[in-house]
């Protein structure tokens, strides 16, 4: 794997604005909180990595609901 970091655009579940997040695909499936770059609200990201080390799914939801 040449570069385990990928940059993906996601949409904030609060303000609706898009922003970029860095995902380390070498870490496998992961779940974490990322603050929106626009409104600073916490969003929960659930990242699924397939057997080839590619991102297969990203779910973004409000973290404080």
pLDDT value, residue 3:
80
**Structural domain boundaries, residue 56:** 28-65
Buried b (16+ CB within 10 A) or exposed e, 10-32: bebbbeeeebebebebeeeeeee
Number of domains in the chain: 1
Confidence label for 2 from pLDDT (cuts 50, 70 and 90): low
pTM of the model: 0.82
Beta pairing, strands 5-11 & 42-49: unpaired
Q: Is position 40 within any domain?
A: yes
| Angle 55-60-65 from CA coordinates, rounded to 5° | 150
Q: Is position 22 within any domain?
A: no
Confidence label for 64 from pLDDT (cuts 50, 70 and 90): confident
């Amino acid at each position: 794997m040449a570069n385990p970091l990928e940059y993906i655009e996601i949409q904030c579940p609060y303000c609706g604005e898009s922003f970029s997040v860095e995902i380390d695909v070498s870490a496998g499936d992961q779940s974490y909180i990322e603050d929106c770059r626009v409104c600073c609200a916490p969003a929960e990201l659930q990242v699924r990595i397939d057997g080839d080390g590619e991102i297969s799914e990203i779910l973004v939801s409000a973290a404080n609901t």
